[in-house]
């Protein structure tokens, strides 16, 4: 089976039957043996009705998603260095936002409201194509691994082939002169992987943010390696990397 057909098969099968979960059944005999061994050694009651088989966590290294791990580290270091008085995030990882709010007052805006109560963190509902901010209002803004989804309907947003450009236009509108926009998105061979995400070339993203200077650029490559000091051209040959753009409004 060719690589193209293997990829197509996995994308269609994974939403319905996850081979990784089926493969985990190979570890079930070991689990049952260890359960019996533990019961013999323990005074605790370890009932069958309370079993909670975790069959795939015994790994040689701690697994992680390179895009989300490195983008969280990247934005935290940027804000720690720049020390904005306030920061607004549009729909990024809520785990990252919870950490950012520990050292900078943060407002989190998402199409799907986040129902939490945490000091230094405000949350509100909002549409990235119609942000609830005035033009030039925000001096520090982030939007990480978000714009690639807009208009594809994955999260309940309206279908719109122009969604990415509309989102970019709104982000540009609300940033103040000399304000900073921290943006991440998949980079590499341009395509739409409906309804998951889009992949953009780094050059196209830079061109989309006309009126902004690119203050810095980092990337995560196809192998999951982080390059904190890179150039947009370094990401042009990737298949599915992550581009981390720090823009400053002129």
One domain, residues 187 and 226:
yes
Residues of the chain with pLDDT below 70 are 1-20
Distances (CA, A) of 162 to 119, 127, 159, 229: 36, 15, 9, 31
What CATH number is attached to the domain comprising 113? 3.40.50.150
Q: What pTM did the predictor assign? A: 0.91
Provide the pLDDT for residue 19.
64
One domain, residues 84 and 44:
no
Answer whether residue 61 is part of any domain. Answer: no
Provide the pLDDT for residue 170.
98
From the CB of residue 246, how many other CB atoms can be counted at a distance below 10 Å? 20
Let me know how long the chain is.
250
One domain, residues 19 and 74:
no
One domain, residues 39 and 70:
no
- From the list 212, 203, 223, the residue with the least C-alpha distance to 179 is 212
Answer whether residue 59 is part of any domain. Answer: no
Provide the pLDDT for residue 25.
85
The H-or-E segment that residue 39 falls in is: helix 28-41
List pLDDT tens digits, range 5-40.
Answer: 666 666 666 666 666 677 788 899 999 999 999 999
Provide the pLDDT for residue 15.
62
One domain, residues 8 and 110:
no
Provide the pLDDT for residue 20.
62
Answer whether residue 192 is part of any domain. Answer: yes
One domain, residues 149 and 224:
yes
Residue 241 CB-density burial (10 A; 0-12 exposed, 13-18 middle, 19+ buried): buried
From the CB of residue 115, how many other CB atoms can be counted at a distance below 10 Å? 6
Domain, as residue range, for 133: 66-249
One domain, residues 107 and 12:
no
């Amino acid at each position: 089976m060719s690589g193209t057909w293997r990829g197509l098969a996995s994308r269609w099968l994974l939403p319905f039957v996850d081979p990784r979960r089926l493969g985990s059944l190979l570890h079930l005999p070991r689990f049952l043996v260890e359960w019996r061994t533990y019961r013999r050694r323990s005074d605790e009651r370890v009932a069958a009705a309370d079993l909670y088989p975790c069959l795939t966590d015994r790994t040689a290294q701690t697994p992680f998603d390179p895009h989300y791990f490195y983008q969280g580290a990247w934005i935290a270091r940027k804000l720690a260095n720049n020390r904005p008085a306030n920061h607004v995030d549009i729909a990024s990882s809520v785990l990252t936002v919870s950490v950012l709010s520990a050292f900078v007052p943060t407002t989190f805006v998402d199409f799907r409201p986040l129902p939490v109560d945490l000091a230094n963190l405000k949350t509100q509902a909002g549409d990235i194509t119609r942000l609830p901010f005035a033009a030039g209002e925000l001096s520090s803004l982030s939007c990480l691994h978000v714009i690639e989804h807009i208009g594809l309907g994955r999260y309940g947003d309206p279908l719109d082939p122009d969604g990415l450009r509309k989102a970019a236009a709104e982000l540009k509108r609300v940033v103040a002169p000399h304000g900073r926009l921290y943006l991440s998105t998949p980079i590499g061979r341009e395509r739409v992987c409906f309804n998951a995400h889009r992949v953009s070339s780094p050059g196209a993203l830079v061109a989309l943010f006309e009126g902004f200077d690119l203050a810095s650029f980092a990337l995560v490559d196809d192998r999951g390696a982080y390059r904190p000091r890179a150039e947009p051209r370094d990401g042009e040959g990737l298949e599915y990397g992550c581009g981390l753009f720090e823009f400053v409004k002129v």
